[in-house]
Amino acid sequence: MTLGDIEFPTPSEDADCRPVREILDRIADKWSLYIFVALKDGPVRFNALRRQIDGISQRMLTITLRQLERDGLISRTHFPTIPPRVDYELTAVGRSLLAPVMALMTWADSNRDVIEQARWQYDQTR
Amino acid sequence: MTLGDIEFPTPSEDADCRPVREILDRIADKWSLYIFVALKDGPVRFNALRRQIDGISQRMLTITLRQLERDGLISRTHFPTIPPRVDYELTAVGRSLLAPVMALMTWADSNRDVIEQARWQYDQTR
DNA sequence: ATAGAGTAGTATCAAATTGTGACCAACCCT
DNA sequence: AGGGTTGGTCACAATTTGATACTACTCTAT
């Protein structure tokens, strides 16, 4: 068997790609993946997410959470206490996305040396 | 078994996350995933990619291809003919990333109705 | 009593990223 | 000779993201 023969699970061939694009553009943006991973073990509060996801601004965290909520991937629970408390949690649909997302994370983790070296080699030849 | 008990493949718990972030930020940008999918069946020429990936600009295609090449995920082959011909192709490492990427695509494809509906519902309540 | 920190945001403006259209050189076809 | 193809690059405009400050309220420490 050559590498070219490997079969991958594919979406139906002639599917209209636009809706898929709209979904992927949400998942594959700068922050969504990290929010996903941060929520994998259960509900997390807003500022806890902010501390956990290094480098995210309050603004982008709010915006990205709203979009994920709109897509039904996470749920937002507001407790009207003082100080306010807002929990974010993966929905059932969101959890079903966790498997492919974690597969991607795992790939990235186990291939970082290879990529690091490829970058170094590329930069040598300019 | 409750949903909370599902175990996902995880990168080593205390791994330094920065290199993983650098890799994911490349994969999870606006165009890389689509380039990946476009190359899944074999080498494709520059302008063929441009036609296949709807909405990408020549500039972003060039930039993204260079970055993927730097990471060793795709290879670039230049044929000095007239008119010039440049083939882009997944490397072995690139192909190993294809499985998780296609899993993501497949998820997006099979969940688009659910997400479409969630969006509609969210927009109703504003 | 008062200063400081924490809560979950919003508003405003600057900085970075991405898109747009023009341009290139070398050829082929009519 | 004019128009089309190839794979780019360049300058500039539009969009997206980031940084900083601000909100209103409470609890804790000085």
- Tens-place pLDDT, residues A74-97: 999 999 998 999 999 999 999 999
Whether residue A60 has pLDDT greater than 50 = yes
- Report how far residue A57's alpha carbon sits from residue A47's, in angstroms, rounded to the nearest whole number: 11
Given pLDDT bands bounded at 50, 70 and 90, which one contains residue A19? Answer: confident
For residue A10, give the chain B residue with the closest CA: B106
In a domain? residue A10: no
Q: Is residue A8 part of a domain?
A: no
The predicted pLDDT at position A3 comes to 42
The answer to whether the C-beta of A101 is closer than 7 A to strand D is no
Domain assignment of residue B100, yes or no: yes
Angstroms from B81 CA to nearest CA on chain A: 23
pTM for the predicted model, two decimal places: 0.90
A12 touches chain B (CB under 8 A): yes
Is B65 inside a domain boundary? yes
What pLDDT does A126 receive? 72
Domain coverage including residue A67: 17-125
- Interatomic CA distance for residues A34 and B33, integer angstroms: 17
B112 vs A3, A19, A121: nearest CB: A19
Q: Which residues have CB under 8 Å from B92's CB, separation 6+?
A: A3
Give the tens place of pLDDT for each residue, A102-113: 999 999 999 999
**Minimum Cα–Cα distance from A33: chain B residue:** B28
Is there a domain that residue B7 lies in?
no
Identity (one letter) of the amino acid at A1? M
Compute the count of residue pairs across chains A and B with CB atoms less than 8 Å apart: 163
Q: What is the CATH number of the domain that holds B38?
A: 1.10.10.10
Q: How many domains does chain A have?
A: 1
On strand C, nucleotides with any atom < 7 Å from a protein CB are: 6-12, 18-22, 25-28
Report the 3 state secondary structure along chain B. Answer: CCHHHCCCCCCCCCCCHHHHHHHHHHHCCCCHHHHHHHCCCCCEEHHHHHHHCCCCCHHHHHHHHHHHHHCCCEEEEEECCCCCEEEEEECHHHHHHHHHHHHHHHHHHHCHHHHHHHHHHHHHHC
Q: Shortest CB distance from A119 goes to which of B30, B71, B93?
A: B71
pLDDT (0 to 100) of residue B4: 44
Task: Decide which of A124 and A3 is more confident.
Answer: A124
Question: Does B14 have pLDDT greater than 50?
Answer: no
pLDDT number for residue A15: 52
Q: Which residues pair with A74 in a beta bridge?
A: A90
Task: Please report whether residue B21 resides in a domain.
Answer: yes
- Whether A84 and chain B come into contact, CB under 8 Å, resolves to no
In a domain, B78, yes or no: yes
The answer to whether residue B68 is domain-embedded is yes
Structure tokens at B119: 């969006």
Distance CA A40, CA A35 (A): 9
Other CB atoms within a 10 A radius of the CB of residue A109 amount to 19
Q: How far apart are CA B85 and CA B45, in angstroms?
A: 7
The mean predicted confidence, pLDDT, of chain B is: 90
